[in-house]
Amino acid sequence: MHVSLLQGDGGVYGIGIPIVAYVDRKVSDATAFEQATKVTVNGAPAAGAWYWQRSGRDGQVLEAHYRTRAYWPAHAKINVVLPVKGLSAGPGLTFENSLTLSIATGPAHVSSVDCARRS
């Protein structure tokens, strides 16, 4: 099964964006993918996790979103290594390619809204 990414190398994104990976077939066991993935922020390991969901993108069956517990830091360098080529995606399924990604975040702009409060 083929893996692709939403983001492109060298892009600058907001601090709330997840890393998004797409696969073109249904993964029945994502363990190898999740264990092989290395995500760093400014050179340090990122503390995050993958969340899998059905994809609405043409030609893609599933998408995996990598999120950290908090927002990415502002002006950070984020590197992702997906050395998944040949790894199992479940019985009879293997990933056909490996990927890397190098992106950055811009300044932090966070807004909050309190819909219960009236002025």
Average pLDDT, the chain: 95
Largest CA distance in the chain: 60
- Name the phi and psi angles at 95, rounded to 5: -80, 140
Domains of the chain: 3-105 (2.60.40.3710)
Q: Buried b vs exposed e over 41-64: b needs ≥16 C-beta within 10 Å?
A: beeeebebebebeebeeeebebbb
* Confidence (pLDDT) at 119: 62
| DSSP symbol at 85 | T
Yes or no: say if 89 and 62 are a contact pair by the CB < 8 Å rule. no
**pLDDT above 90 for 68:** yes
**Model confidence over 69-101: pLDDT tens digits?**
999 999 999 999 999 999 999 999 999 999 999
